[in-house]
A = this chain, B = another copy of it.
Amino acid sequence: MNRRVIILGGDGFCGWPTSLYLSKRGFDVAIVDNLSRRKIDIELECDSLTPIKPISARIATWHDLTGKEISYFNFDVSRHYHRLLTLIKEFDPIAIVHFAEQRAAPYSMKSAYHKRYTVNNNINATHNVLCAIAESGQDVHLVHLGTMGVYGYGTAGMKIPEGYLKAKVEVDGAIKEIEILYPASPGSVYHMTKTQDALMFYYYNKNDAIRVTDLHQGIVWGTNTPETKMDEALINRFDYDGDYGTVLNRFLMQAAIGHPLTVYGTGGQTRAFIHIRNTVNCICLAIENPPQKNSRVEIFNQATETHTVRDLAVLVSKMTGAEIRYYYNPRNEDPENNLRISNEKFLKLGLKPITLNEGLMTEVADIAKKYGHRCDPSKIICTSTWKSDTPVDWEGSSMPASNIDDKDGGIH
């Protein structure tokens, strides 16, 4: 059986541990990465909390430890179409895992440049992959990392289905049942590009019968997997800055260095979460369970639990004694929302969710405390804003920002 897999963006936070996980399980892995994430670190004058090694050192260490080869190609999937096509033809993969997109909502909102970079990079990258698979004529399964954010967070109160929504419409007075892609409602330019990706998957699946699995992933937390823990040279990146850091990892690091936990707005935003070890497991399950040829795009909700940001802050605060501080919310979003999701598909395939209770203390001890000295505290606060009239000189408060903002005189 063909076990060759190309990982686009295989040097990144999800891509690297996925590459090792698959390599460990006998897949022949080829990584494509233009190192854009490392270059953005340079732009943002920031760095991973964990000391990540160059990709060649990572791959060499992996080979030394396991005897397994991972090949690596440095080119830009959004631009070097013919290079990609040639790789597909020559390597003849069974699947391509597509992480080659700019993946931070705050980064995508920093300026017109960042909006345009995100749109240009993400749309062209996804389209080039689809176009190259079609042109190759090969039967390559595309596994794409999407986001729960494509659904939006202002749902009609329903439990969000896995991709498709059943609805009834009126046709000449009669009621007809239809099943449609869940209506998209992106909350940032980054999320917008993922909703646009979905239309490209729909089209190329329909016209060229490309097999596509779209993974609507929650917010990833945690850092290492059993593979990345095998040697410090394999360590995964950990972002703590206001643009790329994800909320739970940020809280852990903040607690570790004695910074107040940064809650934006009321903290009433409910989000879906998944541990990085579950992420890599899900991707392997997706590769091993491709959709049938000529069936529609397969969509999974790749998340294991939901929490409000406020509850997470309280949890981390209780565990570590950290103070919670509330800041103006730079995002243009509802202050509070409910979120219920279906995630039965991966559970049926055998996914074993790693819970916060199980994993949080490990993260605090192994990562946040151990590497806390590498933190630049000036990078902790988010400086991207969704609207031009958002105040940039935010001051934290021990009260939710909705109270701070209350013009009618709330609790101050």
Residues of A in contact with B (beta carbons under 8 Å apart): 81, 85, 112, 115-116, 119-120, 123-124, 127-128, 131-132, 134-135, 137, 156-159, 165-172, 175-176, 178, 180-181, 183-186, 189, 192, 195-196, 199-200, 202-203, 206-208, 332, 386-388
Contacts of A184 in B (CB 8 A): 199, 202
Closest to A186 in B: B203
Closest to A178 in B: B156
Whole-angstrom CA separation of A196 from B192 in the bound complex? 9
> Contacts A81-B116, A186-B199, A199-B186: A157 and B171 contacting too (C-beta < 8 A)?
yes
For A123, give its contact among B196, B332, B386 (CB under 8 Å): B196
Contact A116 B131 (CB under 8 A): yes
Contacts of A171 in B (CB 8 A): 156-158
For A112, give its contact among B135, B156, B175 (CB under 8 Å): B135
Contact A119 B112 (CB under 8 A): no
A1 to chain B, nearest CB (A): 26
A335 to chain B, nearest CB (A): 16
Number of copies: 2
A102 to chain B, nearest CB (A): 14
Whole-angstrom CA separation of A274 from B58 in the bound complex? 60
A337 to chain B, nearest CB (A): 15
For A169, give its contact among B134, B158, B185, B200 (CB under 8 Å): B158
Closest to A118 in B: B127
Contact B207 A203 (CB under 8 A): no
Q: List 22 A-B contacts (CB under 8 A).
A: A81-B112, A85-B112, A112-B134, A116-B124, A119-B127, A120-B120, A156-B169, A156-B176, A157-B172, A158-B176, A166-B169, A167-B167, A178-B183, A181-B183, A186-B202, A195-B199, A196-B199, A196-B200, A199-B199, A207-B332, A207-B386, A207-B387
Contact B169 A169 (CB under 8 A): no
A412 to chain B, nearest CB (A): 29
Contact A124 B119 (CB under 8 A): yes
Contacts of A176 in B (CB 8 A): 156-158
Closest to A137 in B: B388
Known: A116-B127, A165-B169, A192-B199. 5 other contacts (CB 8 A): A112-B135, A157-B171, A158-B170, A192-B200, A207-B387
- Top 4 nearest A-B pairs (CB, nearest first) are A167-B167, A180-B183, A158-B171, A196-B196
Contacts of A131 in B (CB 8 A): 112, 115-116
Contacts of A128 in B (CB 8 A): 116
